[in-house]
Chains A and B, each alone.
Chain A
Amino acid sequence: MQAFEYANPASLQEALGQLGNKWGEADVLAGGTDQLSLMKEYLATPKRLVNIKNIKELGGIQNSKTGLRIGATVTLEELAENAEVRKAFPALAEAARGVSSPQIRNMGTVGGDLCQRPRCWYFRQGFGVLATKDGQALVPNGENRYHAILDNEGPAYFVSASSLGPALVALGAKVRLASASGHREVAAAKFFVKPANENAREIALLPNEILTEIIVPHEGTKNATYEVRQKEALDWPLATASVALKMKGSTVVSARIVLGHVAPTPWAATQADQALAGKAITAESAEEAAKAALADAKPLSQNGYKVQLARVAVKRALLEAVKA
C-alpha cells in the first residue's frame, strides 16, 4: 500500500474541502471493503484518504410521503434489516442481503456499493478498467466467463459490480451528489456509465464529489430482486434481475426490469417491460418477458450460459414480486 495522508472530517463541508479535482488526489473511505483492497493491490494510490464515517448527516434512513432517504454511509446490513425498506422495497432489501458475507454487509455501505470498482479479474490484476495489454483488449479472446453479455462491443467488457444498482434503477431512485460548489441529483439509471477510455470512471461521480444519499420514491410498486449465485457464502452473482411492477389488480400497468452482472451498467430491459404491459404475471408471461429481456444478448466465447441464468433471474424475480 502506498503511503497516504488521512483526513477525518466531522462535517460534509469539511470533507468536500479535502477532495481533489482529479482522480488519484483524494479517495473517499467509508466501509473500506473495496477501497482498501484496491489500495493494497496498488490499483488505487490516493495521496489522501478522506474518512466519511464520522459525518452524521451521511447516515440514517428516513421515510417521508414522497420517498425513502437512505444515507450514503448506511451499511448494507442496516438497509437489509430496515422494516420500511423490507415492506415497501423488498427488491432493495433482497439486493442488500445478496451481498453474501455478513462481514461485508456490516462494514460495506450503500454509497460504497454504488461506487465500488469492477470485479473484472483483468482490472484487478492491473490491466486497467478496459482490460488491455499493448493496446489490445484482453477480454474477447481471454477468460471471459464472468464478463458482459449485453452492451459488450467494447471498449468495456466488465460487468457493473453494484448489487443495489439494478434495484435502484428499477425503483426509479435518485442519487444525490455534493461538491464544494453545491448539490446535484442524478437518476440512478444515469449514475452508472460505460467508460469510453481508460481514464474515465464507470460512475457519474466526479473526483471532487461525495455521494451523500439516495432517494427512493414511493411508487407503490410490487418489486423483487433475484440473484443467481453459485455459493451461499461470499460470492459474486452470475446474473441478477430487479423488477418493479405497477399493478392494477392482477394486471401489469407498467414494468421496469433491470438486469445486474450482465453489462457494464445495470441493464434496463425495456423490451421485457413492454412485453408485460397489460398482462398478468404467470409462469408463461414471466418466461416470455425473460426471453424478451435477453433478446439482444451477444455472449462472448465463454459466457453463453449467463444468458440462461439472466433469463431465470428475470422469471423468478417477476414471480417473487407478485407472490402473496
Chain B
Amino acid sequence: MVAAETLGLPLGAVALKIGDSSLPPSGASGGSTTVGGVSSSSRKSAVNALAKLFDAVAPSLGTTPDQLAAVDGRVQVKNDPSKSLTWKAACQKLGVKGISEMGENNQRNPGGLNSSGVGGVQMADVSVDTETGIVKINKAVAVQDIGLVINPTTAESQIHGGCIMGICAALFEERVMDQQTGYMLNPDMEFNKLAGIGDIGEIIVHLDITPEHDKRGPVGLGEPAAIALITAIANATANAIGVRVPEIPLTPNRVLAALERRNA
C-alpha cells in the first residue's frame, strides 16, 4: 500500500516478495513493529526509486525532475497534466537497466514513519450466571490510538482479533500440566479452549483518524490490543458479582468459589 501510494500506482501493480533469503535483511515481523518498520523502509525505497525515474523521464516531458508527480498510473507535470506519460511509457525511458533502490531505517533515530508510544482503552460488559459461574461477554469496546492509520480495515481487524484473544485469555485458555506424568493434558482444541463466534459478544473498535493523529506516524498495534480486555472482563465480573475472581481464566469453578467466599 505504501509503495503503491508513493508510486501513484494501483495496489495490484505492486508485486510483494517476502520470505526469501536473497532479499535484504528487514525488521522482524512481530513485536508490534512490523507496520512501523516496513512501511518506513518501503516508503523510503519507493521515494528513492521514483526520484530516479523522474530523472530519466524529465527531459522527454521538457521539464525538470522536481516538477514531476506520479498520479493514477501516470507520470505527469505537476501543473500541466496534459504533459504526461503512462507508467509503462515512463519506464521504457529507463532502457534495459531498471531501477533498484533500498530504503533503510535509522535504527537509532527512527522518527517519521516509525514512531513509538501506544495508548488505548478497552471496556467490557459481561453477564454472570451466578448459579453456574459462567461468564458471558455481551459487548466489548476497544478504542486504540495508533497514530497514523495506514490501512483502517486491517487495523480494525487486528484490534478485533486482539479483543478475541483477550476474551480467550480471560475466560478459557489454560495449559493443563500433569505433575504425575509430565504430560500436557490438553494439547488440543477441545480442552485448550478458545472462543467461538457465539462466545465473543459484540465487539466495537474505534480508531481516531485525524490530522493530529497522522502527525505522530504509525504506532505498533499487534499486541497492545490483546491485553487490556482481560482486565476489563475481570473488572466487569467483579462489578457484577461483588467479589473479585483473582485468577484467569474466569472458569465456572473459580467464579463459583469466589461467590461462595462472598456468601460465607
Contacts and interface: CB of A to CB of B under 8 A. Distances in A.
A236 B193 CA distance: 10
Interface in B191-229: 191, 193-199
A23 B132 CA distance: 40
Interface in B163-217: 171-172, 176, 178-181, 183, 185-186, 188-191, 193-199
A234 interface: yes
A146 interface: yes
Interface-centre pick from B179, B180, B199 (highest chain A CB count, 10 A): B180
Contact of A230 (B179, B180, B185, B252): B252
Interface in A232-275: 232-236, 238
B257 interface: yes
A138 B199 contact: no
B42 interface: no
B172 A230 contact: yes
Interface residues of B, number: 30
Interface string B99-125: 000000000000000000000000000
B256 interface: yes
Given A143-B178, A305-B133, A305-B253, A232 B198 contact: yes
A228 B252 CA distance: 10
A140 to B, nearest CB: 10
B180 A133 contact: yes
B196 A234 contact: yes
Interface residues of A, number: 28
Interface string B227-263: 0000000000000000000000001110011000000
Nearest to B136: A232
A62 interface: no
Interface stretch (A84-92, A120-128, A175-183, A207-215): A120-128
Contact of B196 (A143, A232, A309): A232
Contacts of A234: 189-190, 196
Main SS at interface, chain A: loop
Nearest to A120: B185
Contacts, number: 74
Contacts of A312: 131-132
A233 to B, nearest CB: 2
B126 interface: no
A212 B121 CA distance: 57
B251 A233 contact: no
Contact of A142 (B179, B189, B191, B256): B179
A308 B131 CA distance: 8
A158 B172 CA distance: 22
Interface string B17-57: 00000000000000000000000000000000000000000
Contacts of B195: 231, 233
A133 B253 contact: no
A234 B256 CA distance: 23
Contacts of B188: 124
A91 to B, nearest CB: 20
Nearest to B196: A233
Nearest to A309: B132
Nearest to B177: A143
Interface string A281-310: 000000000000000000000100100110
Contact of B181 (A124, A127, A308, A309): A127
7 contacts: A119-B191, A138-B180, A141-B180, A228-B134, A305-B253, A308-B132, A309-B132
